Structures are given as structure tokens and as C-alpha cells.
A and B are shown apart, each in its own frame.
Chain A
Amino acid sequence: MSGPDLVMYEEEYRLIDDELHRLHAQANAKVVFLVDKNGQLIASMGETKGIDTTSLASLTAGNIAATGGMAKLLGEKEFSILFHEGERDNIHISIIGQRVILVVIFDQRSSLGLVRLRVKKSSETLTKIFVTIAEKAEMDKVKGQATASPFAEITDEDIDNLFG
């Protein structure tokens, strides 16, 4: 395993945050969050208090992974959109740029049609942001300016202290 090849700085994070904020407002959603395909939560917006977003992120990624496996068995590249209807809340899940998962949780204050429309628009914006992030990282690497690991100076004692 090597260090991360990509770093997200404040600027890009703010752009993503702004876009999620916009989507949350325009889709009348309860919660909006972005998850990496490996289950790591990237950003969230909305009524997240009382929601275990860490677990949701992991389960969402598992969900996408499982349906991705099914897709391949059926000869599809992937199922890029999933929708789960509940009694009170619904979940709309979509894959952004093949690497990130956008999750929108909404209730009777919104509708599937509105969510789909707003997600489509946000997908384009978010895809551009992530492409920029990737390009920046690539340029940094070429220039030899890749960020050094923050753990460059860690010692055995630092790690022992983590475990008490």
C-alpha cells in the first residue's frame, strides 16, 4: 500500500460543500451525503443529527458494491442509480463519475422526480470538481510537489499511545 495520491484542499472541499448545500435546498431533501465507493464518508448536509452517517456510508458502499456485482453478472457495466422507497423516508443513490456515491434521503416534502432532476444537475457539477481534484493532484506529482505523508515523523511510541 502506498500513500494517498490525491489531496483535497480547503478550496475543493468548499466547492463540494456548496454544491451539496444547493442540492439539499433545491431537492427539499432531508439529508444529502457523498460517500467514496470504499465506504468512507466524504461530506454531508442536512438533518444528520441522530443519523449514524458512518454506518450509512459503509452500508451504502456495500449496497453499491453488491448491485455492481449483480450488474456485471448481467452484462451491465453498473447500475448507476438505485432507489429505495420506505414508509416515511426514501433513499436515492447515484454514482458520480464512477468513483463517488451521492445519497439523497427525502420524505414527503419532496418527490422522486424532483430529486432525480436535481441530482442530475448536481452530478455534472460534482463530476467537474472531482476531475479538477484529480488533475491538480496529477500536476503536483509531475512537479514533484506531492504532499508528504503527515505521518513522516511518527514513532513506535506514537502508535502505542493510540492503543492506551
Chain B
Amino acid sequence: MTPGLNCSPWATPAIIDWKAHLTMSFINYSSREINVKLVYYGPGLCGKTTNLHYIYKKTNPDAKGKMISLATETERTLFFDFLPLALGDIRGFKTRFHLYTVPGQVFYDASRKLILKGVDGVIFVADSQLERMEANSESIENLRINLAEQGYDLDKIPYVVQYNKRDLPNVAPVPEMNKLLNPTDIPYFEACATTGVGVFDTLKALAKQVLFELKKGK
């Protein structure tokens, strides 16, 4: 389990990128900052918000901004959760990750589409419980469709999968989950977001993918 992040203080604005549908990260050569947007996706109650809560709890105060949660009275995500993280400098650039979650309930699809705009990388959080497999499949298909509507191909953007709730007794075996949800063998991580197992591993893996995409600069 990765300890809290050690990061430089917040800086201010960033550069805009006009090619919205393909290139979203912001690089500011003036103030030497880069911002990227990562989105946690998955069916309702799979643990997206719990992931963010854990990351927030374990991150040093000077490395994080305020966590915003737009939720219902019963704490179901209504629009999005947002957590800005200021990771340290990399090659002289202050690196910030903006983490978002989408609402997972099926009828919030319109909102999910909006939150996906400008995404740099996606973490799909799957609920490992046997009875949620169909919901997982539908959610991944929904993700693929919503990304495609914005010109993204799920098979080409930075993307990792998290199999959450591995601590529960009625979970599907990982090989079966991979067969159903990860046919292209992308990186996957077993997790228990309530205790933090696998949470930072997942985030770190996606961050690596995103930064290496930036490295390619294509």
C-alpha cells in the first residue's frame, strides 16, 4: 500500500488544449505545469467514490485540494466526485491529476457522458460480487459507447481495470472476471477500496500509462 503522496504546493492556471476530442492534457510552458484528467467508471455501488475517499484520506494535505462530492441524500453520486492531486515535479513540470468519478446508476447516463469529456485515462472499477457481473458487463459496454461518442477508442486510451470488493465471500474468481471484462488483457488490479488494498496501485498504473502517452507526444 502506497503511503500518502508528497507533493509541491498548488500552483495556478494551465494551458488550454483546443483539440478537445483527442488531446486533453494541459501543458503550461509558462508556469511549467501539466494537468491530466482521470475518470473512475463502473456500475452503481462498485466502489468508485470509495476509491477517491481512500486516496483523499491517505494523501498529504499539501498534495491535495478539497474533495467535491455532488451526491444525493443517501450518498449516491448524483453528478460527480472530484479530487485534485498535486503530485511532485517531473522533469521540472508540476504534475497535477484531476480525479473524477461518474454516477454509476443506469439512469444517470447523460451525466456520465458529460464527465467523460476531456478524459486522459479511465479506471474501470468492477464489483467482484457474482450477482453484479451483468452490471459490470453493461457498464463496460456503456463506457465504450460513451467514449466512442466523443471520438475516443477504449482500446487506445490509457485504461486499467480494478476488481474491487475482493474481501467479500461471494466474489467471482479473477480469471473468470478477466474472461468477461478484460478480453484484451489490459492491466488489472485486485482491490478492497474500503481498506485501501490496490487503490494506489491502480491509480499509479493509470498515471504511468497517461504520462507515457504524453512522452510519446503523438
CB of B20 within 8 A of CB of A153, answer no
Q: Is B91 an interface residue (CB 8 A)?
A: yes
CB of B90 within 8 A of CB of A158, answer yes
Evaluate whether A10 and B18 lie within 8 angstroms (CB atoms) in the complex, with A37-B118, A52-B66, A58-B68 already known. no
CB of A1 within 8 A of CB of B5, answer no
Pick from B4, B37, B84, B90: contact of A154, CB below 8 A.
Answer: B90
Q: Is B3 an interface residue (CB 8 A)?
A: yes
- Residues of B68-125 at the interface with A, using a CB-CB cut-off of 8 Å, are 68, 70, 79-80, 82, 84, 87-88, 90-93, 95, 98, 110-111, 113-115, 117-118, 120-121
Residue of B nearest to A137 (CB): B18
Q: Is B19 an interface residue (CB 8 A)?
A: yes
CB distance from B18 to the nearest CB of A (A): 5
In the bound complex, residues from chain B placing their C-beta under 8 Å from that of A99 are: 16, 18, 20
CB distance from A127 to the nearest CB of B (A): 13
CB of A54 within 8 A of CB of B84, answer yes
CA distance A28 to B18 in the complex (A): 30
- Residues of B26-78 at the interface with A, using a CB-CB cut-off of 8 Å, are 26-30, 34-35, 37, 65-66, 68, 70
Q: Is A36 an interface residue (CB 8 A)?
A: yes
In the bound complex, residues from chain B placing their C-beta under 8 Å from that of A10 are: 30
CA distance A65 to B29 in the complex (A): 28
CB of A3 within 8 A of CB of B216, answer yes
Q: Is A142 an interface residue (CB 8 A)?
A: no
CB of B12 within 8 A of CB of A163, answer no
CB of A1 within 8 A of CB of B157, answer yes
CB distance from A65 to the nearest CB of B (A): 4
Residue of B nearest to A154 (CB): B215
- Interface-centre pick from B66, B120, B152, B214 (highest chain A CB count, 10 A): B214
- Interface-centre pick from A6, A66, A99, A133 (highest chain B CB count, 10 A): A6
Pick from A4, A59, A158: contact of B15, CB below 8 A.
Answer: A4
CB of B13 within 8 A of CB of A66, answer no
- Interface-centre pick from B3, B79, B92, B217 (highest chain A CB count, 10 A): B217
Evaluate whether A1 and B25 lie within 8 angstroms (CB atoms) in the complex, with A58-B82, A149-B216, A163-B87 already known. yes
Evaluate whether A40 and B35 lie within 8 angstroms (CB atoms) in the complex, with A66-B114, A69-B110, A163-B5 already known. yes
Number of interface residues of B (CB under 8 A): 69
Pick from A6, A37, A41, A58: contact of B117, CB below 8 A.
Answer: A37
Evaluate whether A153 and B91 lie within 8 angstroms (CB atoms) in the complex, with A10-B30, A38-B37, A43-B13 already known. yes
CB of A40 within 8 A of CB of B16, answer yes
Pick from B12, B15, B87: contact of A7, CB below 8 A.
Answer: B15
Q: Is B193 an interface residue (CB 8 A)?
A: no
Q: Pick from B135-143, B175-183, B205-213 the stretch touching chain A.
A: B205-213
21 contacts between A and B (CB under 8 A): A2-B216, A3-B23, A3-B216, A3-B217, A6-B19, A13-B30, A36-B26, A38-B37, A39-B37, A40-B14, A40-B37, A54-B66, A55-B84, A66-B111, A68-B114, A99-B20, A151-B93, A162-B88, A163-B87, A164-B3, A164-B5
Additional pairs, 20, CB under 8 Å, beyond known A2-B22, A39-B82, A40-B98: A1-B25, A2-B23, A3-B214, A6-B16, A36-B16, A37-B20, A38-B118, A39-B118, A42-B14, A42-B15, A43-B12, A52-B66, A55-B65, A65-B117, A99-B20, A149-B27, A151-B91, A153-B91, A158-B90, A159-B208
Q: Which 5 residue pairs spanning A and B have beta carbons closest together?
A: A149-B217, A38-B118, A3-B217, A65-B114, A5-B19
